[in-house]
Amino acid sequence: MENESIVLRTEKKYEISHFTAAQLKFKLSTTLKKDINNKGNGYMVRSLYFDTLYDNDYNDKENGIENRRKIRLRIYDPTSKTLKLELKQKQGENQLKRSLTISKETAEKLIKGDYDSLREYESELANELAYIMKKEFYRPKCIVEYDRLAYIVKENSTRITIDSNIRSTEANFDLFSSDLALIPINSIKVLEVKYDNFLLSYIKDVINIANKTQISISKYYLARQMRYF
């Protein structure tokens, strides 16, 4: 089960209108290959985010710190017996994402604050996260869920996604609940473009119909903002 992966790529995000999203869906579906997980309007993504006792990761985003991180558990189906534990580190436009496949049982222990449970995995990432999360007093902070449509270009490891219906909760950390009560946090749709080295010209042509103003947006940040208003 100890499947550890490392991905370093450029990541750009754009806030787009409902009309632009509809245009992009049509264009992308006729130009690119759909992700195998797409079903109808896409698939669900659910993440539980951890942060320090004093919300250091949230504050780093708030203060525009260039090098920052996020720690999360990610699942695509509440009935799954395995899921991803991820450490994302932003370095300018580049995103370094390190992931470890863990069991549902380990995830439940992490949610309860048992970070030593990661020691059973023969993984550098597991040991690093166990140390960080204990030393800096990480705690579960919120669950964020949204619907995602994804398209891929294998030649350049390009991945284009449209995320919508973003919702969250800070009241319940049951990541595996089939009837989790969630609150809509924003009506925006987010276009994400992720790629290695350079973006192919015909992909640029496709996404040119989007708002060309790149934004720095974090669904975790959006969800936690509600607490501070």
User: Do 83 and 104 touch, CB atoms closer than 8 A?
Assistant: yes
**For 89-147, how does the pLDDT look when each residue is reduced to its tens digit (9 = 90+)?**
987 778 899 999 999 999 999 999 999 999 999 999 999 999 999 999 999 999 999 99
User: What is the rounded average pLDDT of the residues 13-27?
Assistant: 89
| H or E stretch at 145 | strand 139-153
Do you know the residue count of the chain?
229
d(C-alpha 59, C-alpha 63), whole Å = 6
Phi, psi of 218 (to 5 degrees): -135, 125
The lowest-confidence range among 4-13, 200-209, 213-222 is: 213-222
Identity of the amino acid at 45? V
For residue 74, CA distances in Å to 28, 70, 144 come to: 26, 12, 10
* All structural domains of the chain: 4-228 (3.20.100.30)
pTM listed for this prediction: 0.93
User: Please, what's the largest Cα pairwise distance for the chain?
Assistant: 49
Query: What is the pLDDT, as a whole number, of residue 207?
Result: 81
**For 181-201, how does the pLDDT look when each residue is reduced to its tens digit (9 = 90+)?**
999 987 888 999 999 888 888
User: What is the rounded average pLDDT of the residues 147-170?
Assistant: 92
